[in-house]
Amino acid sequence: MNQNHIIEIENIVKAFPVEGSEPFLALKGVSAYIPRGEFTVLKGRSGSGKTTLINMLGALDKPSEGKVFFDGQEITSLPESAREKMRRTKMGFVFQSVSLIPMLNAYENVEFALRLAGVKDNRTERVKECLRLVGLEKRMNHMPQELSGGEQQRVAIARAIVHKPRILFADEPTAELDSHSAKVVAGLFRDLVEKEGITILMTTHDSSLMNAGSHLIELADGEVVK
């Protein structure tokens, strides 16, 4: 495996069973890599297989065939307990619909992720630092419902990076945002790559965000076209 690649995948096939018919191939033998310390955009139309692929890379699902190497280690054959620990400590996730805990304020939502990752030292400082990175330190004590959609998504990003994951997976994080907030999030991702040295993989079907990253993978009908 190339040391500059945090992830490499080889011939990933994902077949979903379909009742009374042949299985549906959502991924048809995908090989690709994610460069370390860069912002990669995974682009493709609705139904092209982006979520299916990001779920394999983030150890949320297993391929029917093929291998996924993360930091030099093949992860599809690891037991679920090891995959779960890997997700909690080395990976961060942001999804299309923001899922902050409604009873916790912005600060507490971010701190909760740090507790889950088992971090004990300097929690307060790190939580504040991350809220500052996303430009929301002044909203720290706001409850989720007292924040705009874009602000909530930024809290979710702070929460996803607070434990210093190796990689942040973001599946359509801008889909529910207006075009201005979507650009703010894309700019924030570029900042995080620079300031935190994190690797980011973001999926989008928004062509205006296609050039937001420094590496582009394009999927069409379960195959890499670029």
Ligand X SMILES: Nc1ncnc2c1ncn2[C@@H]1O[C@H](COP(=O)(O)OP(=O)(O)OP(=O)(O)O)[C@@H](O)[C@H]1O
205 near ligand X (CB under 6 A): yes
97 near ligand X (CB under 6 A): no
Total residues at the site for ligand X (CB under 6 A)? 13
Q: Are 77 and 69 in contact (CB under 8 A)?
A: no
DSSP letter, residue 138: G
Residue 102 carries which side chain, given as an amino acid letter?
A: P
Which residues, 106 to 125, sit near ligand X by CB under 6 A?
none
Residue 23 or residue 118: which is nearer to ligand X going by CB? 23
Pairing of strands 199-204, 65-70: unpaired
28 near ligand X (CB under 6 A): no
**Packing angle of the helix pair 123-133, 106-116 (nearest 10 deg):** 120
Residue 95 or residue 112: which is nearer to ligand X going by CB? 95
Q: Are 226 and 41 in contact (CB under 8 A)?
A: no
52 near ligand X (CB under 6 A): yes
Strand partners, 215: 40
58 near ligand X (CB under 6 A): no
Which helix (H) or strand (E) element contains residue 88? helix 80-90
Residue 51 or residue 76: which is nearer to ligand X going by CB? 51
DSSP letter, residue 208: G
* Displacement of CA 27 from its chain's centroid (Å): 19
**Partner touching 173 among ligand X, Mg ion, none, CB below 5 to 8 Å by kind:** none
Q: Which of 51, 76, 199, 204 binds Mg ion (CB under 5 A)?
A: 51
CA dist 145 and 136 (Å) reads 15
**Partner touching 63 among Mg ion, ligand X, none, CB below 5 to 8 Å by kind:** none
User: In the bound complex, which residue of the shown chain has the CB atom lying closest to Mg ion?
Assistant: 51
Residue 67 or residue 205: which is nearer to ligand X going by CB? 205
DSSP letter, residue 83: H
CB of residue 2 to Mg ion, shortest distance in Å: 28
Residue 62 or residue 88: which is nearer to ligand X going by CB? 62
What string of DSSP letters covers 30-54? EEEEEETTSEEEEE--TTSSHHHHH
CB of residue 172 to Mg ion, shortest distance in Å: 6
Range in contact with ligand X (rule: CB under 6 A) among 50-58, 70-78, 187-195, 209-217: 50-58
Output the furthest CA–CA distance in the chain (Å, rounded): 56
49 near ligand X (CB under 6 A): yes
Binding site for ligand X (CB under 6 A): 16, 24, 26, 44, 46-52, 172, 205
